[in-house]
Structure 1
Amino acid sequence: MEDLFAGRDVDINAMKARMSGLMAEEGLPYGDRTHTYNSRLAQEVGKWADAEGHGDAFHEAMFHAYFVDGLNISDADTLAQIAASVGLSADGAQAVMRERRFQAAVDADWQRSRDFGITGVPTFVANGRGVVGAQPYEILERLVVTAGGTPRQEG
């Protein structure tokens, strides 16, 4: 993380504390990440998982692998193990990565993001409005309501 933010005025410990607090408020687990990894292959495997009907489970497992366990999500063997953990074929995941079957689909997602002016993740967009970064639930709910959605009903 130090190398990633070298030369920028970023307080890594404060950033980690903020993220940890936001995650705790939502009851989500969050580990002490020390590295960041290129998620390109993970995005391609995620597209495949979506197409195979295992997208939600795969994305949940990826969240846990990266943000809780600190696993290297740029590593093909790690991605194949994560895919297998949610009922997908590890060999199928390896083939998706080797053949880059979903490269064009991810390229299209990236282009759409650039078209919207998105430069950071996560970014949430609804009806032409957006918020960048990890946000409290209330901020995301306000975005959805402003876009015409219905607020969550309590009780």
Structure 2
Amino acid sequence: MVGNLKNIADELNLPFGERDKTCNSRLAQELGLWADSMGKGEEFHSLAFRAYFGDGVNLAHIPILLQLAENAGLPKNEAEKVLNMRSFKEVVDRDWAESRCKGVAAIPTFVLDDYKMVGAQSYEALARMLRENGVKTR
């Protein structure tokens, strides 16, 4: 599976470094939702993606998350308050509960009505899923 992800990342010119373990990204998810609410979600998520998948950074460490927030143009002191107060914990809890209800057990999972596709997929595979479910593609 990792080899397949690496091949896809290479094809798409996306970062994908070596990691020997998976980290708990819960706080990154909470901070990401805050970044979304502040209009800096795209910047934060892009930086977090590159840090985790490209550089193998452990997103469970608060100083790393604060640096990512600051690099995304967010106030570091506010980011720290969000993490310390767990301001977006309930929102992430709801997202996780909804995912479980939909049978999502892996990331990424693409859901369209009752159809699910699990794992990193090529553009062609995603387009085929859409076409097979009546969605027009280019």
Q: Give the TM interval when normalised to the shorter protein.
A: over 0.9
Could you say which structure has the greater relative contact order, defined with CA pairs below 8 angstroms and 6 or more residues apart? 2
Displacement after TM superposition at 1:145 (Å): 3.2
Specify every segment of 5 or more residues in structure 1 that has no aligned partner in the other structure, as ranges.
1-14
Instruction: Answer yes or no: is 1:44 the counterpart of 2:30.
Output: yes
Q: In the alignment, which residue of structure 1 is the partner of 2:88? A: 102
1:66 corresponds to which of 52, 57, 63: 52
Displacement after TM superposition at 1:44 (Å): 0.2
Secondary structure, aligned partner of 2:136: coil
Scaled by the length of structure 1, the TM-score of the pair is 0.83
Change over 3 Å in CA distance of 1:149–1:88 after alignment to 2 = farther
Q: In the alignment, which residue of structure 2 is the partner of 1:123? A: 109
Provide, for residues 111-142 of structure 1, a one-character-per-residue CA deviation record: whole Å limited to 9, x for no partner.
00010011111111123322111111211222
Displacement after TM superposition at 1:66 (Å): 0.2
Letter in 1 for 2:88: F
Displacement after TM superposition at 1:91 (Å): 1.3
Change over 3 Å in CA distance of 1:109–1:22 after alignment to 2 = same
Displacement after TM superposition at 1:147 (Å): 4.0
Scaled by the length of structure 2, the TM-score of the pair is 0.92
- Please tell me whether the aligned partners of residues 45 and 96 of structure 1 are also in contact (alpha carbons under 8 angstroms): yes
Percent of residue pairs bearing the same amino acid type: 43
Specify every segment of 5 or more residues in structure 2 that has no aligned partner in the other structure, as ranges.
none
CA distance in 2, matches of 1:108, 1:149: 28
| Stretch moving more, 37-46 or 133-142 | 133-142
Secondary structure, aligned partner of 1:70: coil
